[in-house]
Amino acid sequence: MLTTIEQDLSQLFGQAFEANDLSFDFGATVRCTRPELGDFQCNGAMAAAKQGAGNPFVTAEKVAASLADNDLIKNIEVVRPGFINIFVNEDYLSKKLSRFSEDTSFGAAEDLSKTKVMIDFGGPNVAKSMHVGHLRTAIIGDSLQRIFRFKGYDVVSDAHLGDWGTQMGMLIEGLKKRQPDLPYFDKDFTGPYPEESPVTIQDLETIYPEESGLCKTDDEAAEKARKATLELQNGREGYIALWKHFVAVSIATLKRDYGELGVSFDLWKGESDADPFIPVILKELEEKNISVKDQGALIVPIVDDEGEKIMPPLILRKSDGAVMYGTTDLATLYERVYEDNADIVLYVVDGRQQQHFKQVFAAADLMEMNKRTTYEHTYFGTVNGKDGKPFKTRTGGVMKLHDLIQMAKEEARKKLAASNFGTDFDDEEKEEIAHKVAISTLKFADLRNYRIKDYIFDLEKFSEFEGKTGPYLLMQVARIKSILRKAGEVNAVPGTLQATSDNERALTFKLLEFVTALDKTIDKRAPHFLCEHLYNLAQEFSSFYQKQHILKEADEAKRASLLKLSSICLNQLEVGLELLGIETLERM
C-alpha cells in the first residue's frame, strides 16, 4: 500500500526516538497548521518529557540532529519548548505525488470486498410522486454508495419501496369505485389478468390523495381500505395482480426521476419483500419472550438495563391483526442479516424517523442481530425554506422533485447567460450544460453541509459561480480542461513531475490529502468532508495558477511538469465530483 508523508515521517521519527531509548510512538508527525513554520511537526519530545524523559528541548535537538541529513527532509528546526518543525524535500514530495497519482484511487482503495455494506436509501412510495423530502436521501445515499464502493467495499443499495401499507388498500378501493367492472375485483374470475395496467401514474396520483383524505373522515371507507390491504397481504389473486400494476407503473416514473438526478439502485425491493419474514420474526420474538401482549396488541417494550421504559414500545401487530412499519423494517433487517449476510446496514433516512429506528434496532439487539451485523440510522436534517419551516412551493404545497429540478435548471440557464458562459454553443450543448449545472447545484448544496444539520434552500445562492457551490467546481474543472487544451494546441503536453517548486507546494500537499478526506467521509458517513476537500483543492489550483503562468513557461520540461500537476488536479477533482454524483463538463 502507498504510504502518506505523515506515515513516512512518523516512521522515521519513531525510529529516531527509539534510537534515544524512547518510545516509537513519540515520532508521530502531523501537518503544521502554520505553513511558514514547517510542512509537518512532531511534538513527541514534549510528550516524552511528561513521561520523565528530561528536558524536551534537548530530546528534540538530539532527534532532529540525527535526521538532518535524511533524504526526505529539506530542513528541520527545533523550537522551544521542544517542537520539531519539518520542511520536506522537494524531490521526495514530487515523487510522492507521482506515485499517488498513478494509482486510480489516489491511494484510497483497499481490498474490503469481504465486507458487505447494504445501503437503504431513497425509500419512495408507490403512487406518490417524489417530493423535496426525497431529495436528501437520494443525494446522500447515492454519494455514500459511490464512496464505499470506491473504497473497495462490497456495496448493495436498495430503494426499499413503500409498497405494502394501507395506502395499497386505499388504491384498490379507490379504483373499485371508479371502475367496478375490472376483473381484478371479481372473485370468480379465473384469469389470466390483463397485461396492460388499468391505471396510469396520473390516475394513481389522483386516487391516492382523494382516498387517503376520505379515509381520515369516513370510518366505513377506512375500514374497507384496511380490509382490502389485509386481503392483498393474504394473497388474494386479483388484488396481487392489480398491485403489481401499481408497483410497475410507479417504478417507471420513479426511475425517470432518479435518472434525472443520476441516482441508481442495485435492488428495487420493497416493504412487501419482507412479508415472508414477518411470521419468522414473530415466532422468534415470542419464543425468546421478547414480545408481549398488551391490550390485544403485540409489542416489544423498549427498556433500559434497569427495566425502565425509555421510549414507546415497538408495535408489532395492532389488535386488528395489522402489522406496522416497524414490523416490516424489523423483518427486512432480519433478511439483510441472515439471508443477505450484510456486515453493515446503513439507513439513509430522515432524522424525523429517529425514534422509529431506535425501536427497531432495540428489538433487533434483543434478537441478537447485532452479533452479526452493524446497523445504523445514517440520518439527515430537513430542507427548510427561508422562513425556517420545511420547504414548500410558493402556494404552500409540497414541492415535487421533478419541479424542483426544473426550477434549478431555469436558474442555471439564467446564471449561465448572465456570466456569458457558452453563449455561442449549440442548443444541445447549452441544454446539457444547464442540466449538469443544475444537478451540481442541488447536490453540492446538500452534501456540503454536515448531514445531520438542517439547511435553508436558497437556489439563487446555491447556483452562484462564486463560493462553495457545485457550479464553481464545474467551472474550475472546465477551466483546467481549457488550459490543457490550449497547451495541446501548441504541442505542450503533461510530462514528468519535477521537484516541487514553492508555487506548487500548497497544491501538492492538498492533492496528497485526498485519502484522509475520503477516509473521514467513510468513517463519519458524511460526504461534506469530501466536499470541503474538493473545494479547497479547486481554490488551491486557482492560487497556483495565478502565481504560475504555465503556458508562458519557456523551459519545456518545467512546463510539462506544471501541466502534469494540473492534469493530476483535474483528475482528482473529477474523480471526487463523481463520488458526489456530480458530472463534469468539457467546457462552459
- Would you tell me which residues interact with ligand ARG (CB under 6 A)? 120, 123, 125, 160, 162, 329, 347, 349
Spatial distance between the Cα atoms of 161 and 399, rounded to a whole number of angstroms: 20
In this structure, the number of other CB atoms found within 10 A of the CB of residue 105 comes to 16
- CB-nearer residue toward ligand ARG: 162 or 576: 162
- CB-nearer residue toward ligand ARG: 303 or 322: 322
Q: How far is the CB of 280 from ligand ARG (least distance, A)?
A: 18
209 by Cβ neighbours in 10 Å (0-12 / 13-18 / 19+) ranks as: middle
Q: How far is the CB of 119 from ligand ARG (least distance, A)?
A: 11
What is the residue type of 338? Y
Which triple of cell numbers denotes residue 96? Answer: 510522492
- CB-nearer residue toward ligand ARG: 79 or 280: 280
Q: How far is the CB of 380 from ligand ARG (least distance, A)?
A: 12
Q: How far is the CB of 353 from ligand ARG (least distance, A)?
A: 7
How many residues does this entry show for the chain? Answer: 588
Q: How far is the CB of 332 from ligand ARG (least distance, A)?
A: 6
Spatial distance between the Cα atoms of 473 and 536, rounded to a whole number of angstroms: 10
Which triple of cell numbers denotes residue 199? Answer: 391505471
- CB-nearer residue toward ligand ARG: 252 or 551: 252
Tell me how far CA of residue 89 lies from CA of 40, 73, 338, 513, in angstroms: 12, 5, 53, 17
SS3 301: strand
Q: How far is the CB of 563 from ligand ARG (least distance, A)?
A: 47
- CB-nearer residue toward ligand ARG: 325 or 450: 325
Q: How far is the CB of 271 from ligand ARG (least distance, A)?
A: 8
- By the 8 A CB rule, do 347 and 376 touch? yes
- By the 8 A CB rule, do 202 and 212 touch? no
- CB-nearer residue toward ligand ARG: 160 or 559: 160
* Helices and strands (H, E) in the chain, number of each type: 20, 13
Residue whose Cβ sits closest to ligand ARG: 123
Under 8 Å CB-to-CB from 56, ≥6 apart: which residues?
45, 46, 48, 49, 81, 82
- CB-nearer residue toward ligand ARG: 326 or 581: 326
Spatial distance between the Cα atoms of 285 and 513, rounded to a whole number of angstroms: 48
Q: How far is the CB of 38 from ligand ARG (least distance, A)?
A: 49
Q: How far is the CB of 333 from ligand ARG (least distance, A)?
A: 8
**Radius of gyration from C-alpha coordinates of the chain:** 29
424 by Cβ neighbours in 10 Å (0-12 / 13-18 / 19+) ranks as: exposed
Spatial distance between the Cα atoms of 144 and 147, rounded to a whole number of angstroms: 5
SS3 441: helix
- CB-nearer residue toward ligand ARG: 343 or 513: 343
Cα dihedral 236, 242, 244, 248 in deg (nearest 10): -170
Q: How far is the CB of 128 from ligand ARG (least distance, A)?
A: 8
- CB-nearer residue toward ligand ARG: 136 or 160: 160
- CB-nearer residue toward ligand ARG: 162 or 301: 162
